[in-house]
């Protein structure tokens, strides 16, 4: 099987900054991008993954992502809610875990749910490079429109050395992008560097525990899974209300064909699971 995994919020934020402007532009650009990626990759199954609250990372670092500006654009928040609501009428599987980030859930899909299937992750988030150590996983950059190459060094080690300002994860003093890469080129060099100062290793391990995708254990809270089906009448009503003329006009037969094809594959997959 070929699995397509969509980092939903990443795609939403890219849609927000599209050159297309106007009312409901983010919503329009999101669904145009989603169909485009489905057509491009021809998957048998599509997962759309939403964000949860990463308790384990905040327990390690209470200031995790504290440097990110708080979202105050209510119009954008409304469009985001509308996009998520519309998934109910499309042939996708929506995943969310209340205690883990989207990244962790996507890692879980690749390593636990579909370890023997071909999995393509759609995102511009470079943290997914750590999944490329698995032969079954590819990372598609939808802006550059190409697959991201596997690294010759361990991505998690590299980022643990230099830190991540976007997530407010501190790196080691004096270590930038190039030096971190050089250190990671050789396992012995990395070990010697960390052994020179006990504080270095502690800080390195602290950063690594935040960057590495978490193993999602079985517990009191389980994955929220919504298997949705293509509801042509409902989604066309939604797009009509948003005045998406270029989707519901001459382009609709192609849009419908894409979703009907995916819906048939989803039905087959659901049947196989129910009888296995």
Where are any strands of DSSP class E within 68-223?
93-96, 118-122, 137-141, 146-147
Q: How confident is the model at residue 222, as a pLDDT?
A: 87
Are 150 and 133 contacting, i.e. CB atoms less than 8 angstroms apart? yes
Give the contacts of 186 (CB within 8 A, at least 6 positions apart): none
Q: Are strands 93-96 and 146-147 parallel, antiparallel or unpaired?
A: unpaired
- Going from N- to C-terminal start, the domains of the chain cover 2-150+217-258, 155-211
Looking at the chain, which runs of residues are DSSP E strands? 2-7, 45-49, 93-96, 118-122, 137-141, 146-147, 224-227
Please tell me the predicted confidence (pLDDT) of residue 196. Answer: 87
Q: Measuring CA to CA, how many Å separate 103 from each of 10, 79, 130, 191, 253?
A: 11, 22, 11, 28, 34
State the greatest distance between any 2 C-alpha atoms of the chain, in Å, as a whole number: 66
**Model pLDDT, residue 22:** 80
pLDDT means over runs of 10, the chain (276 residues):
97 89 91 97 98 92 84 85 96 95 96 95 97 96 96 96 92 93 95 90 94 81 91 96 94 96 93 72
Q: Does domain 2-150+217-258 have CATH number 3.40.50.1820?
A: no
Q: Which residue has the tokens 């594959």?
A: 265
- Tell which residue, 163, 165, 173, 177, has the closest CA to residue 207: 163
């Amino acid at each position: 099987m070929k699995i397509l995994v969509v980092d939903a919020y990443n795609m939403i934020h890219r849609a927000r900054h599209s050159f297309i402007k106007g009312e409901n532009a983010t919503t329009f650009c999101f669904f145009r991008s989603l169909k485009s990626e489905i057509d491009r990759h021809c998957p048998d199954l599509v997962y759309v993954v939403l964000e949860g609250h990463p308790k384990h990372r905040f327990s390690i670092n209470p200031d995790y992502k504290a440097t990110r500006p708080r979202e105050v654009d209510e119009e954008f928040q409304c469009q985001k809610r509308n996009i998520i609501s519309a998934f109910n009428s499309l042939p996708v599987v929506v995943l969310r875990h209340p205690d883990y980030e989207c990244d962790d859930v996507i890692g879980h899909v690749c390593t636990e749910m579909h370890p023997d299937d071909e999995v393509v992750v759609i995102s511009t988030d470079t943290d997914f490079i750590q999944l490329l150590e698995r032969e079954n996983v590819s990372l598609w950059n939808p802006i550059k429109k190409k697959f991201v190459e596997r690294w010759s060094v361990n991505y998690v080690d590299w980022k643990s050395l230099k830190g991540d300002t976007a997530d407010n994860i501190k790196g080691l003093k004096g270590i930038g992008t190039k030096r971190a890469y050089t250190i990671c080129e050789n396992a012995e060099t990395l070990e010697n560097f960390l052994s020179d100062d006990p504080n270095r290793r502690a800080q390195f391990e602290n950063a690594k525990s935040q960057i590495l995708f978490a193993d999602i254990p079985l517990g009191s809270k389980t994955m929220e899974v919504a298997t949705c089906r293509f509801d042509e009448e409902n989604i066309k009503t939604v797009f009509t209300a948003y005045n998406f003329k270029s989707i519901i006009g001459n382009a609709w037969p192609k849009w419908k064909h894409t979703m009907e094809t995916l819906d048939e594959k989803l039905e087959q997959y659901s049947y196989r699971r129910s009888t296995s």
